[in-house]
């Protein structure tokens, strides 16, 4: 499964020996390099990786952990699957470099249960790394020890949220914790823990190998580097595309062969709906940030049916721990059914939108906070069309 | 369950506890292995796991029921789970759903009377570029067509 356009960062020839280079550096210099590169988290929230690593590095503790978040559950996202199969070694090396930089000796990959068919090949790569002295004791003669363990999820979208993921690793129900404290401080078993997305970690060895200047020359001022985008829906060539930050949505979907476009959902079910008139907007932390899912809808699609699909997803995947999310998503889904039956007044629709806005601020974790996004944006852009149809 | 069966189960759980360690953090991997071997995590299994990890059985039950890939009641030999999320929906998952129901003679949410097949929906499998997609146990099948579904089921039936 290759990247479908011309790759920029994720090319085998860029990989070189980032791990060896990193181990020749002092941990503090790696922390500075990652910070100066401007690398931000690729999993959705976009927290600067360098700052997160520095927090974990500064935390005083005899044990620390690195977790690679491979839960990839956001509808329409499959770019981590590509990295885990085509750039497996870089993902693991990124974890090792992080461990070296923050002083951790153990890493976990939390792989979604749906990807369990990939685990044998990943284990084989781990074994190879051990055999060639790139994992385990005294890695490449540096005196640094690091081990990686793969753990499987069991079919719960919310476990991609980092504190729920940690709960799950600890053997609990995957229910998000209150934050702060953040994992960098109080993570797995209470120890300082860096949780990073697969793509963030896989970028690190390449960034170290090619240098900070090379990396910062790609992308925009506040969004350095590239983003892997999973494109699906009404396109001729669905798949993973690598784009420099700042690329417009139009450019991306044209690469994928979209025609007769009505709207594009950016960021999956928890993302936002962009109508055809706004396709000039670009993917970046300045404009439209995303974990990497783009779903294209053509003019034959009924936006209410799409919204129904999203709201069903959230009512099922909510962990039910807090009221705004548990009850709110159910109300929004019921609202969609009412519209379908022609029973929803404009007055009630307004109330639902304001309920959505309450959920955005009052929910305990990102799931509940982002779940009303599609309801709000689809109603904003297609409310009239929907209400006149039903 | 027969006493001998319980003994085997206990032995198996003991060896898993040995493999993963006796801490609470071993709970999920142990449940996952029992799920794969037995197709479900029975009351007895839950009690034995709780005893050997020294936690309350209610805790084991609470964790088991939280995760959609773990179940407390017996499932079929082949669990067929069709993705119902948006990208697969756009690529005609409904047509695949009808084909599966026709071929197996059961509806979604049901188990065949010989306990060989069960049909259920699942959320996005991360195969959205190759939809419609489904899982049969841990194996993923993509770019499904009604004809391909029949071929896949024929292969399984042969086993
Ligand atoms: C409901 C929910 C699901 C999430 N799923 C994922 C996921 O599958 N993969 C991921 O990397 N981050 C996911 N996140 C974000 C993580 O909480 C966390 O921000 C991320 O792993 C940090 O890594 P990064 O800084 O490298 O992006 C999710 C967040 C929420 C609220
Ligand atoms: S927002 Fe939803 S998923 Fe998050 S803690 Fe509350 S109920 Fe659980
Ligand atoms: S929507 Fe079906 S695999 Fe993602």
Strand B117-122 relative to strand A226-233, pairing: unpaired
- The whole-angstrom separation of Cα B123 and Cα B88 is 10
Backbone angles phi, psi at B54, to 5 degrees: 60, 45
Q: What is the 3-state secondary structure (H, E, C) of A15-39?
A: HCCHHHHHHHCCHHHHHHHHHHHCC
Return the HEC string of B100-145.
HHHHHCCCCCCECCCCCEEEEEECCCCCHHHCCCEEECCEEECCCC
Name which CATH class applies to A226-298.
alpha beta
Task: Say how far apart CA A35 and CA A51 lie, in whole Å.
Answer: 6
Smallest CA-to-CA distance from A93 within A205, A240, A190 is with A205
List the structure tokens of B120. 């259920």
- Residue A91, token pair as written in the block: 């993902």
**For position B156, what pLDDT does the model report?**
87
Task: Enumerate residues 98 to 117 of chain A having a beta carbon within 8 A of any beta carbon in chain B.
Answer: 112-117
Residue nearest to atom 1 of ligand 2 (CA): A368
Of B69, B128, B140, the CB nearest to A154: B69
Q: Return the axis-axis angle of helices A79-86 and A198-210, rounded to nearest 10°.
A: 50
Strands A106-111 and A147-152: parallel
Is the domain spanning A303-389 CATH 1.20.1440.230? The answer is yes
Residue A80 and residue A199 in contact, taking contact as beta carbons nearer than 8 Å: yes
Separation of A73 CA from ligand 1 center, angstroms?
9
Cβ of A359 less than 6 Å from ligand 2: no
Strand partners, A197: A69
pLDDT computed for residue A378 by the predictor:
98
Between chains, do A309 and B126 touch, taking CB under 8 Å as contact?
A: no
Does A154 reach chain B within 8 Å, measured CB to CB?
A: yes
Torsion of CA A320, A187, A33, A80, to 10 degrees: -40
Q: What is the DSSP letter of A268?
A: G
Q: Domain boundaries in chain B?
A: 3-66, 78-157
Rounded Cα gap, residues A330 and A318, in angstroms: 10
Residue B4 pLDDT level (bands cut at 50, 70, 90):
confident
Q: Are A34 and A48 in contact (CB under 8 A)?
A: no
The answer for residues whose C-beta is within 8 angstroms of residue A178's C-beta and 6 or more apart is: A364
Both tokens of A102, joined, read: 């923050």
Cis previous bond, A223, omega within 30:
no
The minimum-distance atom of ligand 1 relative to the CA of A176 is 31
Q: Which of A380, A378, A354, A269 is nearest to A318 (CA)?
A: A269
pLDDT at A147: 98
User: If you measure from the C-alpha of residue B89 to the centroid of ligand 3, how many angstroms do you get, rounded to a whole number?
Assistant: 8
**Which 8-state DSSP code applies to residue A256?**
T
Rounded to whole angstroms, how far apart are CA atoms A113 and A118? Answer: 10
Give strand pairing partners of A56.
none
In whole angstroms, give the CA distance from residue A129 to residue A148: 10
Answer yes or no: is pLDDT of B158 > 80. Answer: no
Q: Which residues of B41-52 are buried (b: 16+ CB within 10 A; e: fewer)?
A: bbeebbbbbbeb
B contact set with A (CB within 8 A) = 23-29, 31-32, 62-63, 66-70, 84-87, 89-90, 122-131, 135, 138-140
Q: Is A365 in the pocket of ligand 2 (CB under 6 A)?
A: yes
Both tokens assigned to A351: 């109330």
The predicted pLDDT at position B159 comes to 60
- Report which ligand 2 atom has the smallest distance to the Cα of A365: 4
pTM summary value: 0.97
| Residue A384: per-residue pLDDT | 94
Distance of CA B125 from the midpoint of ligand 3 (Å): 5
Task: Tell me the C-alpha to C-alpha distance, in Å, between residue B156 and each of A62, A210, B114, B116, B139.
Answer: 51, 49, 14, 10, 12
Contact A78 B135 (CB under 8 A): no
Residue of chain A minimizing CA distance to B24: A171
User: Looking at chain B, which residue has its C-alpha nearest residue A256?
Assistant: B129
Tell me the per-residue pLDDT of B79-135, one tens digit each, with 9 for 90 and over.
Answer: 999 999 999 999 999 999 999 999 999 999 999 999 999 999 999 999 999 999 999
Check if the beta carbon of residue A304 is closer than 8 Å to that of residue A390.
yes
Cα A101 to ligand 2 centroid, rounded to whole Å: 33
Q: Shortest CB distance from B87 goes to which of A175, A189, A232?
A: A232
Give the gap in angstroms from C-alpha A232 to the nearest C-alpha of chain B: 5
The pLDDT assigned to B7 comes to: 86
Query: What value does the CA radius of gyration of chain B take, rounded to a whole number of Å?
Result: 18
Residue B103, CA distances (Å) to A244, B111, B122, B133 in order: 47, 13, 19, 17
Model pLDDT for residues B49-66, shown as the tens digit of each residue: 999 999 999 999 999 999
Buried b (16+ CB within 10 A) or exposed e, A109-139: bbbbbbbbebbeebeebbeebeeeebbeeeb
Residue to substitute from A155, A174, A236, A310, interface B, most B β-carbons within 10 A: A155
Of the options 1.10.275.10, 3.50.50.60, 3.40.50.970, 3.40.30.10, the CATH number for the domain spanning B78-157: 3.40.30.10
A73 at the B interface (CB within 8 A)? yes
A74 contacts on B by Cβ (under 8 Å):
124
Query: Residue B25: is its pLDDT beyond 80?
Result: yes
Long-range contacts of B118-121 (CB under 8 A, 24+ apart): B118/B75, B118/B76, B118/B78, B118/B79, B118/B80, B119/B80, B119/B82, B120/B79, B120/B80, B120/B81, B120/B82, B121/B81, B121/B82, B121/B83, B121/B84
Crossing angle for the helix pair B43-53 and B3-20, nearest 10 degrees?
A: 40
pLDDT for A340: 96
Alpha-carbon distance of A369 to A322, in angstroms, equals 11
What's the rounded Cα separation, in Å, for the pair A238 and A234?
A: 8
- Name every chain A residue with its beta carbon within 8 A of the beta carbon of B63: 171-173
Provide the residue-wise pLDDT of chain A in tens; the chain has 390 residues: 899 999 999 999 999 999 999 999 999 999 999 999 999 999 988 999 999 999 999 999 999 999 999 999 999 999 999 999 999 999 999 999 999 999 999 999 999 999 999 999 999 999 999 999 999 999 999 999 999 999 999 999 999 999 999 999 999 999 999 989 999 999 999 999 999 999 999 999 999 999 999 999 999 999 999 999 999 999 999 999 999 999 999 999 999 999 999 999 999 999 999 999 999 999 999 999 999 999 999 999 999 999 999 999 999 999 999 999 999 999 999 999 999 999 999 999 999 999 999 999 999 999 999 999 999 999 999 999 999 998
- CATH fold of B3-66 reads Arc Repressor Mutant, subunit A (1.10.10)
Residues of B with Cβ-Cβ distance to A112 under 8 angstroms: 126
Cross-chain Cβ contact A156/B124 below 8 Å: no
Ligand 1 site, residue A47, Cβ cutoff 6 A: yes
Q: Taking CB atoms and an 8 Å limit, are B128 and A189 in contact across chains?
A: no
Nearest CA among A365, A297, A214 for reference residue B87: A297
CB-defined contacts A:B, below 8 A: 124
Q: Which ligand is nearest to the CA of A199?
A: 1
| Domain A9-211: assigned CATH number | 3.40.50.11540
pLDDT at residue B2 greater than cutoff 80: no
Name chain A contacts of B127, Cβ cutoff 8 Å. 78
Please judge whether B66 and A174 are an interchain contact, meaning their C-beta atoms are less than 8 angstroms apart. yes
Chain A residues within 8 A of B28 when measuring between CB atoms? 151-152, 154, 168-169, 171
Q: What is the pLDDT of residue B1?
A: 73
Residues with CB under 6 A from ligand 3: A 75; B 83, 85-88, 124-128, 131, 133
Closest residue to atom 1 of ligand 1, CA basis = A367
Distance CA A199, CA A82 (A): 10
In chain A, where the domains are located: 9-211, 226-298, 303-389
Q: Dump the DSSP string for A145-186.
A: -BEEEEEE--S-GGGGSHHHHHHHHTTS---PPPSSSPTTTS
Spell out a b/e string for A351-382, using b for 16 or more CB atoms within 10 Å of the CB, else e.
ebbebbeebbeebbbbbbbbbbbbbbbbbebb
Contacts of A324 (CB under 8 A, 6+ apart): A358, A359, A362, A363, A364, A368
């Amino acid at each position: 499964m290759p990247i479908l356009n011309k790759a920029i960062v994720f090319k085998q020839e860029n990989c070189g020996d980032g791990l060896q280079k990193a181990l020749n550096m002092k941990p503090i210099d790696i922390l500075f390099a990652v910070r100066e590169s401007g690398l931000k988290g690729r999993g959705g929230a976009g927290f600067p990786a360098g700052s997160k690593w520095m927090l974990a590095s500064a935390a005083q503790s005899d044990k620390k952990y690195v977790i690679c978040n491979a839960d990839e559950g956001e509808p329409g996202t499959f770019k981590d699957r590509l990295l885990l199969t085509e750039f497996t070694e870089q993902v693991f090396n990124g974890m090792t470099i992080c461990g070296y930089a923050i002083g951790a000796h153990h890493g976990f990959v939390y792989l979604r249960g749906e990807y369990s068919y990939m685990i044998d090949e990943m284990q084989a790569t781990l074994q190879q790394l051990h055999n060639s002295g790139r994992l385990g004791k005294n890695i490449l003669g540096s005196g640094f020890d690091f081990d990686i363990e793969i753990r499987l999820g069991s079919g719960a979208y919310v476990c991609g949220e980092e504190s729920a993921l940690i709960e799950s690793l600890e053997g609990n129900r995957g229910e998000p914790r209150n934050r702060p404290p953040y994992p960098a401080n109080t993570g797995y078993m209470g120890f300082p823990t860096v949780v990073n997305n697969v793509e963030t970690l896989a970028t690190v060895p390449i960034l170290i190998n090619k240098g900070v200047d090379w990396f910062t020359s790609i992308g925009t001022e506040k969004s350095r580097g590239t983003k892997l985008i999973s494109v699906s829906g009404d396109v001729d060539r669905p798949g993973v595309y690598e784009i420099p930050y700042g690329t417009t949505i139009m450019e991306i979907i044209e690469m994928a062969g979209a025609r007769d476009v009505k709207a594009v959902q950016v960021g999956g079910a928890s993302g936002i709906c962009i109508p055809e008139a706004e396709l000039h907007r670009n993917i970046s932390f300045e404009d439209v940030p995303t974990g990497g899912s783009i779903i294209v809808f053509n003019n034959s699609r009924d936006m209410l049916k799409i919204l129904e699909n999203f709201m069903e997803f959230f009512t099922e995947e909510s962990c039910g721990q807090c009221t705004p999310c548990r009850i709110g998503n159910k109300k929004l889904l019921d609202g969609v059914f009412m519209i379908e039956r022609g029973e929803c007044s404009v007055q009630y629709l307004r109330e639902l939108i304001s309920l959505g806005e309450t959920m955005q601020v009052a929910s305990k974790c990102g799931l509940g906070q982002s779940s009303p996004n599609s309801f709000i944006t689809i109603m904003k852009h297609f409310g009239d069309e929907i209400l006149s149809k039903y | 369950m027969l006493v001998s069966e319980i003994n085997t189960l206990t032995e198996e759980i003991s060896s898993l506890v040995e493999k993963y360690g006796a801490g609470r953090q071993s709970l999920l991997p142990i449940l996952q292995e029992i799920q794969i071997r037995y197709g479900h995590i029975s009351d007895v299994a839950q009690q034995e796991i709780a005893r050997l990890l020294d936690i309350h059985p209610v805790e084991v039950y609470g964790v088991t029921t939280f995760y959609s890939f773990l179940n407390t009641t017996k499932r079929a030999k082949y669990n067929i789970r069709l993705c119902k999320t948006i990208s697969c929906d756009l690529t005609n998952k409904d047509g695949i759903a009808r084909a599966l129901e026709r071929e197996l003679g059961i509806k979604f949410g049901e188990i065949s009377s010989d306990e060989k097949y069960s049909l259920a929906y699942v959320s996005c499998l991360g195969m959205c570029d190759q939809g419609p997609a489904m899982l049969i146990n841990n194996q993923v099948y993509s770019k499904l067509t009604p004809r391909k579904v029949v071929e896949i089921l024929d292969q399984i039936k042969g086993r």
